[in-house]
Structure 1
Amino acid sequence: MTKVAPPPEPEHEINLREALEERYLAYALSTIMHRALPDVRDGLKPVHRRVLFAMRQLKLDPGSGFKKSARVVGDVIGRYHPHGDQSVYDALVRLAQSFSVRYPLVDGQGNFGNVDGDNAAAMRYTEARLTEVAAQLLNGIDEDTVDFRDTYDGEDSEPTVLPGAFPQLLANGAAGIAVGMATSIPPHNAAELCDAALYLIKHPNAKTEKLVEFVKGPDFPTGGIIVEPRAAMLEAYETGRGGFRVRARWEQEELPRGGYQIVVTEIPYQVQKSKLVEKIAELLQARKLPLLEDVRDESAEEIRLVLVPKARTVDPAHLMESLFRSTELENRFPLNMNVLSAGQVPGVMSLRGVLRAWLEHRKVVLVRRSNFRLDKIEKRLEVLEGYLKAYLNLDEVIRIIRQEDEPKPALIKKFKLTDNQAEAILNMRLRSLRKLEEMEIRGEHKELSAEQKALKSLVKSEDKQWARVADEIKEVKALFGPKTALGARRTKFSDAPAIEYVPMEAMIEKEPVTVVCSKKGWIRTMKGHVGPDTEIKFKEGDAGRFLLHAETTDKVLLFATDGRFYTLDVTKLPGGRGNGEPVRLMIDLDESHEVVELFVHQPGRKLIVASHEGNGFIVPEDEVVAMRRAGKQVLNVTGKDEAIACAPVQGTHVAVIGDNRKLLIFPVKEVNEMTRGKGVRLQRYADGGLADVKTFNLKEGLTVYDKSGRQRNFPDLKDWVGARAQAGRLPPKGFTSERKFGGPFGAV
């Protein structure tokens, strides 16, 4: 018999939990630091930073020609960002979309998508170059202003952050979802940010309430109107968390014969126009916009959505208020300023914190740039001093060069030159020996010496550094100020809506209707209040069950054997001369369950519900209303038990009758009031279960109805009054044999 060799022992045993924790943490950190959250200093994520740097390396400056986007994407993924080309191209496209980015960083040529949500053309068809905003972000990157690190393959280097002369983080905003955290920053006006930063330089301890006098609120590229209260905006900027309600901008256009139409010219940020129109059309078809007749998209380069009111008498403010409530013509943009501080630590920062971090970065960039320039000046002055010594002893220099085999050491020894000075003299061209050249060198030496003195003074003085930073910010403000086409504020502000929201019910014309529901569950409405004697046609094999007199503004409640209540709007029920529609198409009622009761909702009323096993309780009618297809579970039933009865609470006593035709009467106060549950025992049975339940005033007697609708009152029922959960006794003579009290709501 062949023996099976045992499995080899593993070389390393790793605890699964520890391995998962370690590796998921690494993934989380990578997502937070290298993908989802922007750096507070330059406001960019790594992919955007790499796109801009690659375009800079390709010399795609604002004044240069365009290059294919595919060339840019190829350089990015080949040298800096080893990920999918489509994701990199999507990032580049967004930076070029004027409706997505307040201050585009990429100047695109070709189809870069539109506000309808259409995609950009393939990268082989579009071309791109940097904008002036991007140039400001990159300005000084070759002057040792920021640190560089090796790329993923070690063959090249990339900046860890850009110099960032432009307030990119707040000006263009950011959005991203990391592991366990997210960021959402709306775009702002660059000139206002510059004003706030200048004030913060002069007043380092300035509070947020002062800064919001400059930064009034977001400035979205698609315009719109912000209706968020000032107090809420102040709290959002103070804590770094909040949101802004943005509404579409609209105007009223007068038409002949006293008519009018609404024209929407600006829509909220990040709302796709085509989907917005589609949503409005769906609501129109579903009859959920009773004040609106039609919607048309007449947009060309500018947005123009035409909204036609139902009638000229419709108040335009009421019409727009209803649309703001039910469509994305009003949207809420969240604020969550979760950013990477110093490129390492994620955290939520206030408006003041973000501006302070940007200013500190600009100061560091200024000092590093100054030191870089000082080093260049020092080396140049060294060379110029060597040139001057050569001019003073020009004949001797020429002799040494002509006669000495090693002229460099001889020059160093003779004139006490440095190695760099001797090398520069030896590399001089003959034309530089002119007298005019000597004068130019002396002038350059003088200028550089003065610049060196000024830079040294700048590096040593913090006040001078802040003054220089302020001057640079003023230059940025001049480029993108409120008087420029790009810098003018687009989003305006308004107080809270001048009119209160008018509910849909108030907008629906109140008319009398009759709700008809058949035994097979087909439901419809008929105009006016028809009587039970009116001939109503049904499908073959079907008959009427419920006949309710209602108004078009009412709601109808349906109680089913699964113990759930379902809510229907009368105005949404099918009308006309047909047979209506199955109620199961309007609600999620399982085929195994049936309708127990159908009645018009009366706010403030109380209901008593009961199951076949004889359990029940009282529930406020307002608690059972739920505008969901799935309804609302109220009476809990299990196994073969099911809901069997529902009646309004309209008296002092409860009457319960069972399948065994035994009647029991007890006080209403013995029944618990609750919003959901199994309830308490109403009546005890040896066989069968509960058949019907009703409440009434004992002094007025119990009224019951037979099949023909005839009623009879039983005034003396003392012998049937007992305690809850008793068995009861057979009803008095003349009591209906149907084991039902008759339709308490609207059964026919």
Structure 2
Amino acid sequence: MSRDLAGHIEDTRLADALSERYLAYAMSTIMSRSLPDVRDGLKPVHRRLLYAMQQLRLDPTSGFKKCARVVGDVIGKFHPHGDTAVYDALVRLAQDFAVRYPLVEGQGNFGSIDGDGAAAMRYTESRLTAVAVALMDGLEDDAVDFQPTYDNQEEEPVVLPGAFPNLLANGATGIAVGMATSIPPHNAAEICRAARLLVDRPEAATAELLALMPGPDFPTGGILVEDRDAIETAYETGRGSFRIRAKWAVEPGRFGTWTVVVTEIPYQVQKSRLIEQIAELMEQKKLPLLADIRDESTMDIRLVLEPRSKGTEPEVLMETLFRATPLESRFSLNMNVLDRDRVPSVMGLRAVLRAWLDHRHEVLVRRTTHRLGTVGKRLEILDGFLAVYLNLDEVIRIIRESDEPKPALMDAFGLTEVQADAVLNMRLRSLRRLEEIEIRKERDALMAEKESLDALLASDRKRWAKIGRELESTAKQFGTGALGARRTEIAAPPRPVDLSTALEVEREPLTVLLSREGWIRGVRGHGVEIEAQKFKEGDAPLFATECQSTDRLCLFTSGGRAFTLKAGDLPRGRGFGQPVRVMVDLPQDETVIALFTADPEGRRLLATARGKGLVVREADLMAEKRTGKQVLTLRDGDVAAACVVAKGTHVLALGENRKLVIFPLDQVPDMARGMGVTLQKYADGRMREIRVFDLAAGLEWQPDAKSRSAAELEPWLGKRADAGRTAPLWMTRKAG
């Protein structure tokens, strides 16, 4: 029995109510806005745009229609969101510098690579491209499922048939709640060749696929300079990044002068903003080798870089620009997509291609079944025509004399209801002999097609062979001409360029100060009184390192990352300095645990709070990029806790449980990066302190304290990974 729920109130915990509602919002964002479908590579707004334009018959051979009309149809029928968001999505699909294979052909101002916006939708016009037509080929043949629109007034496709490999060809980016996706564009012909290999050899490895599609192919060109092993690992796991550099060449001038001309810039870098950044760095005197930059671009990019001296090497000039400006950038790979069950997952290259091929196989089966049904219905009608052609006089008599000619025809000639309707609707001029011959020809052709369709449905091998031919056709259609030619050059990683002689910095003593709040600055001279230095209210000194202005500093964080700072670039003067997070991309959840002058010959012992560690050369801690270098691999919940000089014979490890163990340093492996080995075992608690010292010389635990000899430390000597013995009182009282 139903009850009246008006006024009914249920007590619910606020945390439960918020969790339930936030989860619903998160799933809506993930599935309806941010992540593309692995089958057609589209988000709902893009799919609805293309379907609405198809309904408006805006195919490549038709005329253009105002974008305002398209946007109106989309938000009125399919997509209940703002017109600005829908128009922005349409504009991006038409920008040849934003998408590798535009799905929309625009007429009017659709923005530029300088970052200029498109004209208002009332001024611009659009229609579909051949790529979009290929994506939707088969919608009328029951190739995919349809679902009701938001108001139940229309229907829209759940996914497009996707004869074009759109996900990899055009890529995708999006940020959802708790997850994101970032897929670079690729060359369609290369994708089809890799997919064809997977059709022929389903067990093909990622390396074999990359032999056919070696990496991203960005619409703005550029040069990919990532290591091949890193590329393979990225495509194998679905996560990684790619380093892209601008394409440049040297143009000689008069009297031995020369300039560098940049003709291609990295993907998603705005040209106008790039020039502004270079100009700002020149004003700050951070590009001492560059005298001027000029923008001589027309339809093609042409940036002219003039060196300060003709004696400068072009490679050295460009290396300074690559290190300091977006002329070199990274594009992340995170192939987080919705699978056919609408479940988000990170897929590798092979899994993405496999999912697309399985979708194409399903589309082929559905289209073949639909066509088979259409052929069967037509054959039924043609058989009815042929049955009555032999008795035309009788047919005419029945129609003239019978009050109900339809059942009479069915009884007289054994016709079905469909055949009888077709005979009654037949025109008189179709009764001529020539028409009978044409019907027999059509019937014979349809019978042959029916046999072919039946054989196709009955044979898995034939279906995959047909998909292989479709892949070859797609590669031929979209892999030739200016649209299909590869634009991004694949090159080997560049050799390191020594800039020390080119960027001469006046050598002078400095003391680098880093505060607890993360402000860093350089103070001239050594022996500086730290207590006399000024810091922000509530702030205090954390590290003070003496160095020279020509030195490089290494900054090591709790996340196991190492960053490199040039001492000469640090702010000086009477101020508080500059936040270190402005100079390097230091994550908010990581803190600095060591700051020191890098010694190419030096070694450091890195240790985690859970007692893992390794020895690494300081040269391997150097990282030129702002993003730093991940040196110490951490498990969930673990953090880097120490970065100490590895100079001595033994390691002392003291845990929070007051257990102490001393073991030889040579038991800790030298590694360039990694998780390391166990230094000390803990049943519970974490590492309290770790040191490296010379056992023969003894241990000076605290400054100005008694040095402890090797004989005094002998009870705690052991092997690496031992739990240790309870530490002496003099150590636990003073440690930390």
Q: Shared topology, TM-score over 0.5?
A: yes
CA distance in 1, matches of 2:505, 2:109: 51
| Match of residue 335 from structure 2 | 337
CA contact (8 A) 1:557 1:568 kept: no
Equivalence map 1:56-205=2 (5 Å): 56-205=54-203
Over 3 Å counting, the alpha-carbon distance change for 1:561 and 1:177 in structure 2 is closer
Shift of 1:567: 9.3
- 1:524-567 Cα offsets, whole Å, 9 max, x none, are xxxxxxxxxxxxxxxxxxxxxx9979xxxxx9999715553599
Q: Could you tell me which amino acid in structure 1 is paired with residue 226 of structure 2? A: E
Cα separation, 1, equivalents of 2:344 and 2:93: 24
In structure 1, what is the equivalent of residue 454 of structure 2? 456
Q: Which amino acid aligns with 2:196?
A: L
**CA shift in 2, pair 1:15/1:299, >3 Å:** same
Q: What residue number does 1:21 align with?
A: 19
CA contact (8 A) 1:322 1:502 kept: no
Q: Distance in 2 between matches of 1:512 and 1:22?
A: 61
Structure 2 contact 507–548 (Cα < 8 Å) conserved: no
Say if 1:113 and 1:120, in contact at 8 Å, map to a contact too.
yes
Larger CA deviation: 17-26 vs 321-330: 17-26
CA contact (8 A) 1:185 1:336 kept: yes
Change (3 A) 1:583 1:558: farther
Match of 2:297, SS state, is coil
Letter in 2 for 1:195: R
Contact 2:505 2:549 in 1 (8 A): no
Measured after TM superposition, the shift of residue 18 of structure 1 is: 1.6
Match of 2:472 in 1: 474
Check the 8 A contact 1:276/1:327 in 2, yes or no.
Answer: yes
Question: Is the CA contact 2:185–2:216 (under 8 Å) kept in the aligned structure 1?
Answer: yes
| Structure with bigger gyration radius | 1
1:368 pairs with 362, 366, 369, which one? 366
Deviation of 1:267 after TM superposition, in Å, equals 0.3
Identity of aligned residues (%): 57
1:31 shift after superposition: 1.1
Match of 1:721 in 2: none
Q: Is the 8 A contact 1:558 1:567 kept in 2?
A: no
For the residue of structure 2 that corresponds to 1:300, the secondary structure is coil
Amino acid at match of 2:410: I
Deviation per residue, 1:598-644 (Å, 9 max, x gap): xxx9988xxxxxxxxxxxxxxxxx9xxxx9xxxxxxxxxxxxxxxxx
Aligned to 2:723: none
**Displacement, 1:680?**
8.0
Q: Deviations over 1:673-715 (max 9, x none)?
A: 99xxxx98999xxxxxxxxxxxxxxxxxxxxxxxxxxxxxxxx
Counterpart CA distance in 2 for 1:440 and 1:384 is 10
Aligned to 2:229: 231
Deviations 1:490-511 (A, max 9, x none): 000111113x2334x5433455
Q: How does 1:1-20 map to 2 (within 5 A)?
A: 11-20=9-18
1:495 aligns with 2:492: yes
- Structure-2 separation of matches of 1:345 and 1:312: 58
Structure-2 residue corresponding to 1:217? 215
* CA distance 1:218–1:560, shift in 2 (3 Å): same
Identify which of 441, 455, 467 aligns with 1:443. 441
- The 3-state SS of whatever aligns with 2:139 is coil
Change in 2 beyond 3 A, CA 1:514/1:468: closer
Matched, 1:583 2:574: yes
Residue 290 of structure 1 contacts residue 507 of structure 1 at CA under 8 Å; is this kept in 2?
A: no
Partners of 2:128 and 2:453 in 1: CA distance: 31
Could you tell me how far apart the structure 2 residues matched to 1:425 and 1:232 are?
A: 69
**Structure 1: gaps spanning 5 or more residues:** 1-7, 516-545, 550-554, 575-579, 590-600, 605-621, 628-671, 684-748
* Matched residue, 2:533: 560
Alignment of 1:230-629 (within 5 A): 230-481=228-479, 483-498=480-495, 500-503=496-499, 506-509=501-504, 560-562=533-535, 564=541, 565=544, 583-584=574-575
Q: TM-score, normalised by structure 2?
A: 0.71
Query: For the residues of structure 1 that align with 2:156 and 2:112, how far apart are their CA atoms?
Result: 32
Q: Deviations over 1:275-308 (max 9, x none)?
A: 1110000000000011111111111100011111
Per the TM alignment, residue 17 of structure 1 is displaced from its structure 2 partner at its CA by: 1.7
Change (3 A) 1:584 1:42: same
1:192/1:559 CA distance change after superposition, 3 Å: farther
Partners of 2:534 and 2:576 within 8 A in 1: no
Q: Which amino acid aligns with 1:493?
A: I
Shift of 1:14: 2.2
1:566–1:587: 8 Å Cα contact kept in structure 2? no
Equivalent-residue separation in structure 1 for 2:47 and 2:353 (angstroms): 20
For residue 426 of structure 2, give the secondary structure of its aligned residue in structure 1.
Answer: coil
SS of the counterpart of 1:584?
coil
Q: Note closer, same or farther for the CA distance 1:495–1:411 as it changes in structure 2 (3 Å cut).
A: same
SS in 2 for 1:450: helix
**Counterpart amino acid of 2:490?**
F
Structure 1 residues 405 and 188: CA distance shift in structure 2, 3 A? same
The amino acid of 1:507's aligned partner reads A
Contact 2:139/2:160, CA 8 A, preserved across alignment = yes
Q: Which amino acid aligns with 1:560?
A: Q
- Identify the match of residue 30 of structure 2 among 22, 29, 32: 32
Q: How many residues align?
A: 559
Structure-2 separation of matches of 1:514 and 1:11: 73
Residues in 2 aligned to 1:587 and 1:347: alpha-carbon distance in whole angstroms: 40
Cα deviation, residue 484, structure 1: 1.5
Name the SS of the counterpart of 1:331 in structure 2. Answer: strand
SS of residue in 2 equivalent to 1:115: coil
Distance across 2 between alignment mates of 1:548 and 1:255? 45
Instruction: Mark the runs of 5 or more structure 2 residues left unpaired by the alignment.
Output: 1-5, 511-522, 551-565, 581-595, 600-617, 619-623, 625-688, 692-700, 706-736
Distance in 1 of aligned mates of 2:144 and 2:507: 75
The letter for the 2-side match of 1:301 is M
CA distance in structure 2 between the aligned counterparts of 1:585 and 1:313, rounded to whole angstroms: 39
Partner Cα distance (1:45, 1:586) in 2 = 45
Counterpart of 1:80, as a letter, is F
Distance (Å, rounded) in 2 between the aligned partners of 1:558 and 1:195? 67
3-state DSSP of counterpart to 2:332: strand
C-alpha separation between the residues in 2 aligned to 1:135 and 1:335?
28
CA apart distance, 1:399: 0.4
Q: Is the 8 A contact 2:508 2:524 kept in 1?
A: no
Question: Larger deviation: 55-64 or 564-573?
Answer: 564-573
Q: Counterpart of 1:149 in 2: which secondary structure?
A: strand
Following the alignment from structure 1 to structure 2, what is the Cα–Cα distance between the partners of residues 392 and 31? 65
User: In structure 1, what residue type is equivalent to 2:232?
Assistant: L
CA offset digits 1:32-70 (Å, max 9, x no partner)? 111111111111111100000000000000111000001
Residues 304-357 of structure 1 deviation map (CA, whole Å, 9 limit, x = unaligned): 111111100011101101110110000110011111110511111111111111
C-alpha distance in 1 between matches for 2:12 and 2:225:
57
